[in-house]
Structure 1
């Protein structure tokens, strides 16, 4: 039980034992009456000998002893208690001007305080509370001191081997850092590869003549390489080009095959939600945050008439502007925008016509120039790049364009170095599928062919 005093001190009195020692029963009764509301566990003794017996058999926190008693007086009793139970607080009651006895009690019994008779009840209660609070504070001090000493011993043991352990740990961390650096590089490459595989799976949902992701990706890569994009933006764009159709996967076959300018009002609303749906499906993947943003905004228009957020001009993320150009260029030729398929040159003319309204003018002109100068094999220029069938492949050649099966499944990703075993497996796969593949490869350095 916690008892609060008018002086704002608190004493947990429920487990506190107080021993009252006096040879006069009236005094003991008076003391018990004064302290009965304090909820202490009160013990009594009529003389010093009885008090010592109680001390030996009961836990006692505080002793209040009369100074003058027959036989053993208060000073001697408190002195013995101090010797054997030094943590017990000691108070003396004195009703006589006995300076010698009081000094002896202070010196030998090291009493906390003496109280004169007759006493003030309030002063007596306050004095006991203060004595017990002081005792509890001293116990806590000793506990913390012991804890500090133990912690210091442990710290000394740790410090004895700290330098050696730090050096060993530093070596371990350096090894881990080196491994993480390698793993991170591989992980970034695997992100791109994973999105390409997923893109191939998306393509299986579409008819062969409507599969556009690979062509869009080639266009984006060619533009990024030509304009020397930083690696982070390039990777985000490549993944966005691979996954931009993700939000269409819940559409029915009729909606997938209907040109966007022929959609009904209801279907047009569904169509215009696909960028947001694609972003939502990627939202849980933190490393695809930029990719998701590009997908969300690739249908915005330079004049602010696009969707979903009607962004205007440079409010549209740079990557989204480029992806929108590439998507429209390919989908115009596939019949996914207009009811008829536009020839390549007509698609380029339409892009130029819409420059400044749908597309950023400067980017649109650079994109058209790229398509004209590098057509039909975007990004494949250079004397060391060849288009070869599987029978002409050699170990060491590096694939510079993703290889897809007839069904659109990704077989090998760009950057893969060919080995003898891999080439043989490709040949066997062709025989099984009853088809022939042509691969765009970079020749090994020093091989002019």
Structure 2
């Protein structure tokens, strides 16, 4: 009988071994109402045959038997089935046999003859409970080992996919010590993968994390932030909106500007909620603080704490500028989607109110020189003038007049008469509209005015 078979036994078995049939019968009667199966053997040799065929949790053997005595039997049991509980039944005159059983058979307990019925039953129960607990421990250890192997397998697959898609981390690996970079790369890529998963609930045009991460990295390099500040800024940029994970689909698609009164509390709590969700991750403790404070405003009108000026950590002030610059171009801050240039005008307008004026004077010129229009990151979207659009194109964002009036809803198919009306209205307002349209290889669909 193998150790595996013993572990998988369902109904416990107790083997009684004694060359005296009367004693065997007496023990069988004593234990017949217990919650286990009782097997008997009239010799050590017969007991070993039973053990070869059946899993046995506990064996009780008489000390004195013709041929092989109880101590020798239990020694053999210990050698071949060490998990089986071994109890020696011995008389007062069997001291030498008892000592032998303790030394060679490593018995768990010996019981003197004549035995006390209650004591014997309780002893068997306790050791079987121990056996059950030990078997459960082994099962859980095996399960944990299997789960760890499976987790390692999934982690290896994840790393392989991330390495295949991430060239920037490979460049970092060339610059730093290999052992340090391997550890750092695994951690950062896992954060970015988690960040990517968070964005899947957003429509394609409102998936901001990738652009915010890239912009955070470029700004950290351009302004020569310390290595620690760079790491924390990028981590916070990747996970800044994790506090929105519990929002419903309706709210998560809305811009902050048009949220209902009942939705505002959730919006104002999302930075603190994100910080709470990530507090247990020790390596990004500083990043979680940035996440919790990235909606604070220079003049104290922000949330969640209403902090002002230097009470707001400077990295949180930078993150606020980055997040708003991207969200303005994705329709998450205002209902009207702004172009890159319009977003830069907005940042300057709210300097000294929402934003640290010192950082605005440094970052905005950099963005004017270096930051691409976010639509360039999406090959399926284009910003066009009314003279450039064609019939059949579909609006990707709402179109507003210069006065703020909503002219066309997103999803509207443009027709030739509609384009002509827009051109005429544009002329009457002396304005120039920018239309964000979806571009695909398929031919434009038929549209009605």
| TM-score range relative to shorter protein | 0.3 to 0.5
Relative to the length of structure 2, the TM-score reads 0.43
Relative to the length of structure 1, the TM-score reads 0.43
* Bigger CA radius of gyration: 1
